[in-house]
Structure 1
């Protein structure tokens, strides 16, 4: 992922630089003819209302496939409403037309586990999870929104651990019944995400939908790579009748520039809609240009009539794999901070000017120029009654301005055309938004539109569009002490700020004589997995990566023999798809055996055969009684306490800080109450330091010893210069300024830009968030340094070990090129 994003951003910057240089040279030499040729009019695009074209099914996004919407549920009401408006409200932001959600299965499905409605056979809770809330909120904003649903995994009781079973069909129709209770009509139901399909199972599912009152719910088949579903439908009439839409994933390239999209003859000649039913996986900022290409080129190249982006939002913790992917980043519910990504506006350029049911106009759809997309593409849509039309242009790869002309005919309206555009060519400064430009007037029946490189344009006869502007609160740290008794939650609720990675942790009435609600691990058997991680014990995490020294404590109650509860501390980076976790675990079994374990990336140490850091026994807690577990971290010292009695203190400096969590040593019920995190005595950093990269061994350096505004930050071998020394001072909010000792100017993210990969530098002090940093303990005595403005980490570009390599802001990866040693000078 990292390499791809770097390469794409460099190519875009290089293309823009080359284009600017060529234009400058031409002007200096008086060679205006070259520029004139670049801007010469293209042949007229005739927008003919009688032209053939398939039916447009919409643009959407996915909530699910891994807990990516989890933290949005806990946002303050004001900011939560703003984010939801940006996503779903017509004429406001992305104005999504399809919402696809995960049918929860209690198993990790990328960056988290979505709650099942039926953890145990026959025990149904139609309020479990947060997808119902999201669907209700989305439909309230756009009643015409289409809802699709898909399973990544499933509870383990289903089909004796067999997904393609009658149990699974029954489970899905029960889920549809829950949707009906919430007033939600599900328009499309899929099978098993990115697994081979079962034709007989699809036929049985269709029969069940028809006989159980869900005839309006269409089957979206395939939902994996390529188009084998289309070939199977062509050769099997019963399967053809059962499946209403054929879907394929990442047919414009996985985490790529999406310059070309593909389908095969069987898909294009199927006689039923074919969809890009999952695409994207890219950051809210860097994904905008690929999405702009894919929305257009998915139809031009492959005749796909819907584009669905994974995921909807990046509302998950920063130590998880895809924490910047989606349309909006919203990872701090305690502060209310969020960032509307460029991808929001890339999508808005189509959704705000069309509706599902419109028709593509094939005669006014294609590529600009003769180089198959290198100058851009365009797609035209018209209303079914020909009362309105819109054409969307993208010029992502163009290197010079160009001009197009348009002409409306075939019963389509003429008159004034409105023009909106989003500039995706600039990577610095604030995130661009869709903006309205001057209207177009016809001249002799044609319209002329000038297109600049790196932009998306929409010309339209429609009105009612808009680009909202809001001011989110600044980022802030979740302060300690923090506590949650869990007593006040309603049955089935998840605890505030907790994000479950496996299993299901929900509120239930307390056992053991305690009143009120407690948190309980609800999944009784290992689920049908999607991620296939080697260790899939249930656990749930919360808190700040910046937490270093603290005590985490919780009361636990074991409900059955052979079970064990866990308390987690200093949780760091989790590998993608839950394939490893940096963390310490305190485990207590019903027999009184306890262990202090350390897990890593990939998984290691988190099993019954691993050598623990410490172990011992206490009087057997048995079942049905409450006991307290506590872990205290102070520097490299880790202290274990059970029921208030210290059991051991060990020394281990592998992980210097991180989140906290609750877990079980297998799929069995455990209850939790009186959760708390209290701060230790970590002194503030103060004084002057050399800041040394853990990967390269080189120092953070103000390039060339310069002191002027804009001096770039690089890495350089230690030369003893004052330009390699930095004064650290912490403010009352817990953020640091990192000030050059030679320049007396702070390290700054220029213009508080949201673009990952932007080189940092020196600027005159303003006190803004772009000059404030979280400095937090990481691994083996190192620190991470993250911007308050956007949460990006101080990063050596490309993990380079070369002298002079750029020091940037970049999404957190857990790599050693984002870890720094602080060597005190004075």
Structure 2
């Protein structure tokens, strides 16, 4: 009784300017089936650094994301089907770099899906390609050039997940935010059905609602599309989409900086995507910011974990906005009809009611997010107002006899010195004569539920944030073959660990042999590779790497670089210092940009450059750039137009095999003896000042 009295007293302390009564009643039937809330790993390797975290912090982060009744408790995990091409922040590896080879150990999405399933066996897994290896296009940028071949490629990814990782893929998409060949959708459906995967559902087309027109005109297409997935719909959907009889999803949404405004955005659209758009699932891009700071789309994620060297992470506000729905529902529940449990509030905001299939459990989620405190990155948000208000929910039908509801509340605060509260239990609140009244402030969200399983999970504070430690050494010996090194972020190309034997044993190899079918069209301006490492704010950092070009299908040249100022879809425009060698010609070139328009130094060194392993060293102090090959100085020049700071990196001038080993990074003013730090899976070294 105590919690109910507190709420009643609070109602007299506010200046009530609005009030309304809202029926929650299943007498008039049920609304659409609830399909779940999810997060998206990929669309640019957004989870890249997470696998390299110390196990304790890594497990904590995974629990915050996936553990039921703990925090975000996500119900869908959507992942990128890697295509060896840039998709915003980095590339993800294909399971088939070339047509004649398959490999189901590459990348980290397999690992992430297994970790999600370990925590929640009922989580739904959803795969979607952003890009494709170039062989599928046969020299074009069209993956649909041979629909049978494309369907087989996607089928092999699904089958590989099952055979090699015991992962059942539940949902499959077509091509992220690109045109959808409707004939391919039919071919894919047949391929899956003919090979024992008839239970996999197809989502089309992960772009907008344009596919509705094709579905209306093609009954066969209508029979094979299970969900219509649109991106960033702005909580609305066309009337003909609502009437077509196929469930509607916001299959990518949010994409907003994860501060309090980002939390407000997520809370608002989770409710209103159904209230206004009848969308029964919403999936956030992206799941977690686990990529280097300084790359595009900083912190547009549900939470942040981008320091595997320190173990630091941050549980951001969108995690708890998710909990208000995910912890008090399950996939397969039903929304109640509009006007009988779903609608907009008179004073601004919205409410949705969901019920279990047996009609024994009820959850009501209420949000009052104001306009300026819930703006998403896209699309534009039309003006509206929200005010303090008193609401009364009147329970009827199967819920008329409910005597109390458990209440969870979050309050987002925006004034200096104020702190938000997240997913705080207000205890059970009595329902008297079928009615429950609450006073709602602005920028609040409530969950009222018959369930008793929700909780605010907590692990305490993570380790403090720390800069990337120098010196750093990587020799790749501790990785399994085919793994992608944890701490490097490929911007173009794809890099696997391979065992070459001899003195080098395991090395990192660039694997892409031809331009892929890209998602970022601008990346076609540079048909080479780049793999970044470190911090975007580094200035005077030296890099030493062993390199060799492949003797078969090899690249022409290979480079190391520093102060690299660009990545993502803008990799082609990267500036910095790039030290190339071309072993066949025994020449070198130093450029101010990755494409090579501005040459700082060049020459031929037959005695220094060999057709095999070469040790390259690059040092920058202020504007002085010095390079060595196999301990022979190649150049020392002043480069006034070099960026003031940036990442270090390695790569190739064109696509083709090239190997990298024994990466050593250090400050230009320090030296160090390599020493493994036992608390961390990465290979850092302790630094001493010179």
Say yes or no: TM over 0.5. yes
> Which whole-Å CA distance do the structure 2 matches of 1:430 and 1:616 have between them?
60
1:376-415 map, 5 Å: 376-397=349-370, 399-412=386-399, 414-415=402-403
Alpha-carbon shift at residue 34 of structure 1 (Å):
12
CA contact (8 A) 2:271 2:350 kept: yes
Rate the CA distance shift 1:421–1:582 in 2: closer, same or farther, 3 A. Answer: farther
**Cα distance in structure 2, aligned partners of 1:47 and 1:577:** 53
Matched, 1:196 2:176: no
Residues 404 and 310 (structure 1 numbering): CA distance in 2 closer, same or farther, change over 3 Å? same
2: CA distance, partners of 1:472 / 1:102: 28
- Would the aligned equivalents of 1:101 and 1:149 in 2 still touch at CA under 8 Å? yes
Determine whether 1:291 maps to 2:266.
yes
Call closer, same or farther: CA 1:500–1:366 in 2, change over 3 Å: same
Q: Identify the residue that residue 495 of structure 1 maps to in structure 2.
A: 485
CA contact (8 A) 2:558 2:581 kept: yes
Question: How far off its partner does 1:479 sit?
Answer: 2.1
Structure 2's unaligned 5+ residue stretches are: 1-10, 371-384, 672-690
Partner of 1:476: 466
Are 1:92 and 2:82 an aligned pair?
no
1:665 aligns with 2:653: yes
Measured after TM superposition, the shift of residue 434 of structure 1 is 1.1
Whole-angstrom distance in 2 between the partners of 1:269 and 1:623: 68
Partner of 1:732: none
The question of whether the paired residues in 2 share the 8 Å contact of 1:320 and 1:576 is answered with no
Change (3 A) 1:535 1:431: farther
Structure 1 position 117, deviation (Å): 0.7
Assess if the C-alpha contact under 8 Å between 1:317 and 1:331 holds in 2: yes
Distance 1:551 1:94 in 2: 41
2:112 counterpart residue number: 134
| Structure 1 pair 213–577 and aligned structure 2 pair: CA distance change class (3 A) | farther
Corresponding residue for residue 580 of structure 2: 587
- Structure 1 residue matching 2:404: 3-state secondary structure: coil
Q: Is the CA contact (8 Å cut-off) linking 1:505 and 1:522 kept in structure 2?
A: yes
CA distance in 2, matches of 1:243, 1:578: 36
Per-residue displacement from partner, 1:514-535 (whole Å, max 9, x unpaired)?
A: 3421100011111100011222
Match of 1:55 in 2: 33
Partner residue, 1:467: 456
Q: Structure 1 residues 636, 577: CA separation in 2 closer, same or farther (over 3 Å shift)?
A: closer
Does the 8 A contact of 1:354 with 1:390 survive in 2? yes
Task: Tell me how many residue pairs correspond in the alignment.
Answer: 630
Say which is worse superposed, 469-478 or 542-551, in terms of deviation: 542-551
SS at match of 1:514: coil
Which range moved further: 435-444 or 629-638?
435-444
- 2:334 touches 2:357 (CA, 8 Å); kept in 1? yes
Superposition deviation, residue 656 in structure 1: 2.6
Matches within 5 A, 1:212-223: 212-223=195-206
| TM-score, normalised with respect to structure 1 | 0.74
Q: What displacement does 1:578 show? A: 3.8
How do 1:107-122 and structure 2 match up within 5 A? 107-122=85-100
For residue 623 of structure 2, the aligned residue among 626, 633, 636 is 636
In the TM superposition, what is the alpha-carbon distance from 1:187 to its structure 2 partner? 0.7
Residue aligning to 2:373: none
Q: Give the secondary-structure state (helix, strand or coil) at the position aligned to 1:206.
A: helix
Equivalent residues in 2 for 1:356-367, closer than 5 Å = 356-362=331-337, 363-367=340-344
Distance of 2:13 and 2:430 partners within structure 1: 28
Q: CA deviation at 1:399?
A: 4.9
Residue deviations 1:207-262 (CA, integer Å, cap 9, x gap):
0000012111111111103x12122112101101111111111101xxxxxxxx22
Indicate whether 1:346 and 2:334 are aligned: no
Counterpart mapping for 1:665-814 below 5 A:
665-681=653-669
> 2:345 corresponds to which residue?
368
Q: 2:529 aligns with which of 538, 542, 559?
A: 538
CA distance in 2, matches of 1:505, 1:421: 46
Query: Given the alignment, which residue of 539, 543, 559 partners 1:552?
Result: 543
**Corresponding residue of 2:160:** 178
Partners of 2:72 and 2:236 lie apart in 1 by 25
1:156 pairs with one of 127, 134, 158: 134
Equivalent residue for 1:270? 244
Q: Which residue does 2:382 correspond to in 1?
A: none
* Bigger relative contact order, structure 1 or 2 (CA pairs below 8 A, ≥6 apart): 2
Does the CA contact (< 8 Å) of 2:42 and 2:79 recur in 1? yes
Conservation of the 8 A alpha-carbon contact between 2:80 and 2:127: yes
Structure 1 unaligned residues grouped into runs of 5+:
1-31, 253-260, 600-605, 684-826
- Taking the aligned partners of 1:223 and 1:417, their CA distance within structure 2 comes to 37
Asked if 2 retains the 8 angstrom alpha-carbon contact of 1:93 and 1:468, the reply is: yes
C-alpha RMSD of the superposition: 2.1
1:238 equivalent to 2:220? Answer yes
Matches of residues 563-578 of structure 1 in structure 2 within 5 Å? 563-574=556-567, 578=571
